[in-house]
Amino acid sequence: MRLIFLGPPGAGKGTQAEFICRDFHIKQLSTGDLLRFHRKQGTELGRKAQQYMDRGELVPDSLIIDMIKEELVKPEYKNGYLLDGFPRTIAQAEALDKLLEELNQKLDYVLILDVQTEEIVTRLTARRTCKICGKTYHLIFNPPKVDGKCDIDGGELYQRTDDNEETVRNRLAVYEKQTKPLIDFYTKKGIAYFINGQGEIEKIYKQIQEILLKTKRL
C-alpha cells in the first residue's frame, strides 16, 4: 500500500502515520524529519534547507525531489510507504508521478486531514518532539507518560524552532498558497479521501482505518 498524507502543518499527520504504519506494515517517509536529520548531520542539503525551514518557507523543489528520489529506491520502502509532508507543490506532485512510473508503482490513497487554523496554532505552539525518534506530543492534548521524555525511547522532548506562533502562521499561509492546490490535483485522480482531523486522536484513526479497510487495495 502506498499513500500520501496531505493537510496543513499540525493537522496530526505524524500522529496518525505512526498508527497506520504500525498496523499496515508500511514505512513512513516524512520529508520534514529527513531534512531535520540532514540539518543535525550538517550535510550540504541540511545547510541549504535550514534558512527556509527557519522562516517556515518551503525548501526548493529541486532539493526535495532529489532527496525523495534517493530515498524511495531503498529496500525498506518495497512493501509500501506513507509520504508525510510530501508532495507540497504541484511541481513535486508531478515529479512524484514520474518517479512512480519509473519504479512501476501506483499510489493507492491520498488522505486529506482537515483542521481549523486556530486549533492548529494551539496544537503547534505546545507541540513537543522527541530528539531521538521524532515522535510528537502535545503538552495538554497528548502528553508523554513522563514529563519531558519520549514514551518510546526516553529521548528528550524539545520544541521545534519553527513551532512558534509567527512561523506557524507563515507555514499556514504557505500551505494555503502552495500545497492546497494538490487537493484538486489528487481529487481528479479519484484517490483523495477527506478526514475531519478535529476530535479525539483514536476516533480520527478509526475514520482512517474504515477508509483503508473498506476500499482495500493492499
Interacting residue ranges for ligand AMP, rule: CB under 6 A: 9, 31-32, 35, 52-53, 56-59, 64, 85-86, 88, 92, 162, 171
**Does 22 participate in catalysis according to the annotation?**
no
Please give the full DSSP string across 174-192, using - where no structure is assigned.
HIIIIITHHHHHHHHTT-E
**Does 106 participate in catalysis according to the annotation?**
no
What is the rounded distance in angstroms from the CA atom of residue 66 to the CA atom of residue 22?
27
**Does 13 participate in catalysis according to the annotation?**
yes
Could you tell me which of 96, 121, 91, 95 has the C-alpha nearest to residue 110?
Answer: 96
Interaction partner, residue 82 (ligand AMP, ligand ADP, none; CB < 5-8 Å by kind): none
Catalytic residue among 2, 13, 128, 135: 13
Catalytic residue among 39, 69, 149, 160: 160
CB of 195 to ligand ADP, least distance (A): 11
What pairs with residue 82 in β-bridges?
3, 28
Interaction partner, residue 56 (ligand AMP, ligand ADP, none; CB < 5-8 Å by kind): ligand AMP
Query: In terms of C-beta density within 10 A (0-12 exposed, 13-18 middle, 19 or more buried), how is residue 117 classed?
Result: middle
5: three-class secondary structure by DSSP:
strand
User: Quick one: 185 or 209, whose CB is closer to ligand AMP?
Assistant: 185
Interaction partner, residue 150 (ligand ADP, ligand AMP, none; CB < 5-8 Å by kind): none
157 neighbors 36 (Cβ within 8 angstroms) = no
**Does 189 participate in catalysis according to the annotation?**
no
119 neighbors 166 (Cβ within 8 angstroms) = no
Site membership for ligand ADP, residue 201 (CB under 6 A): yes
| Site residues (vs ligand ADP, CB under 6 A) | 7, 9-15, 123, 127, 136-138, 141-142, 199, 201, 204
Active-site residue list: 13, 88, 127, 160, 171
